[in-house]
Amino acid sequence: MLIVTTPTLDGKTISHYHGTVFSQVVAGFGVGRSFFGSLRSFAGGRSESHEELVASIREQAIGDLIKEAQKVGANAIVGFSIDLEMIGSGSDGGLLKAHATGTAVTI
């Protein structure tokens, strides 16, 4: 499936707009990952475990968005956007939410 951030596709004609599609994924950091990530941050390094979680959540949200677009018969998504947000923190390690949106279209 073609996914673009622009509202149009150069060289292609959009034959049908199916509407806006959404997906969201929420996952917890967990106490251990949060604690060791904090230590790594304090020491000035990158936290590979946090980066892996962010990449995984982002890919899951995009995959779910594609499924939603396919449900309505689309073969492309225009106006794609994805936002990541931390929810809470503290002893539970916090949660990370990925929210993806776009317009499902047929080209």
pLDDT at 44 over 60: no
DSSP 11: T
At 46, is the pLDDT very low, low, confident or very high (cuts 50, 70, 90)? low
- What is residue 73's predicted lDDT score, i.e. its pLDDT? 97
pLDDT at 20 over 80: yes
- What is residue 45's predicted lDDT score, i.e. its pLDDT? 58
CA atoms of 36 and 39, how far apart (whole Å): 5
Helix ranges, 72-105 (H): none
The highest-level CATH class for domain 2-8+23-106 is alpha beta
Domain boundaries, the chain: 2-8+23-106
- What is residue 39's predicted lDDT score, i.e. its pLDDT? 44
- What is residue 30's predicted lDDT score, i.e. its pLDDT? 59
Output the average pLDDT for the chain.
Answer: 83
> Taking Cα atoms as reference points, which of 22, 25, 34 lies closest to residue 100?
22
- What is residue 103's predicted lDDT score, i.e. its pLDDT? 98
pLDDT in tens, 70-81: 999 999 999 999
